[in-house]
Amino acid sequence: MRDLSGNITTINDGLVGGISDGVIRSPDLEDNSLVVGSRFEDSCSFKQSIRSNAIIHNFDIKIKASDKTRVIATCSYRGCPWRIRASLCSDGHSFEVKKLHPTHLCPGVNRAGNKQATISWVAQEIQESDKMKMKTMAYLAETEK
């Protein structure tokens, strides 16, 4: 199961219980961050992961380029140097983070105003967090107001 930040845990073949969750696991990831060398099943999985990362870390991203061979995203705040680039691997379908400037120099975004947190993103995260009890969800919803 993927956690709310879209983080990656170590599994040799990139599969969890024989079912791919879109992320090919990297052994270096013990914290909840994206790193150079992280591999993803495809460009959609990569974009979903950086979206989740942006929401969790309270910033907004902009996809600058996205095609069959590469995805480049930047922080949408003008002047912030955060940038990530992933490109197609030799297997023809997975994507690997090749370049990352991890530092944000922006003020972040208001939690209530993060455009990345769409209804579909929230619904997916709730479905994937099957360990969370309804009381916990209700409490979290109340405290975020």
User: Cβ distance 96 to 86 under 8 Å?
Assistant: yes
The pLDDT of residue 55 is 79
Nearest alpha carbon to residue 84 among 108, 63, 57, 56:
63
Question: CA separation (Å) from 74 to 38, 58, 59, 85, 125?
Answer: 17, 14, 10, 9, 23
pLDDT at 51: 86
The predicted pLDDT at position 17 comes to 30
| pTM higher than 0.75 | no
Tell me how far apart the alpha carbons of residues 87 and 69 are, in angstroms, rounded to a whole number.
5
pLDDT for 3 equals 34
Structural domain spans, the chain: 23-143
pLDDT by position in tens, the chain (length 145): 233 333 333 333 333 333 344 444 443 433 446 899 999 999 999 998 888 888 777 888 899 999 999 999 999 888 899 999 999 999 999 999 999 998 888 876 665 556 666 666 666 666 666 666 666 767 766 666 5
Which conformational region is residue 37 in: left (phi greater than 0), alpha (psi within -120 to 50 degrees), or beta? left
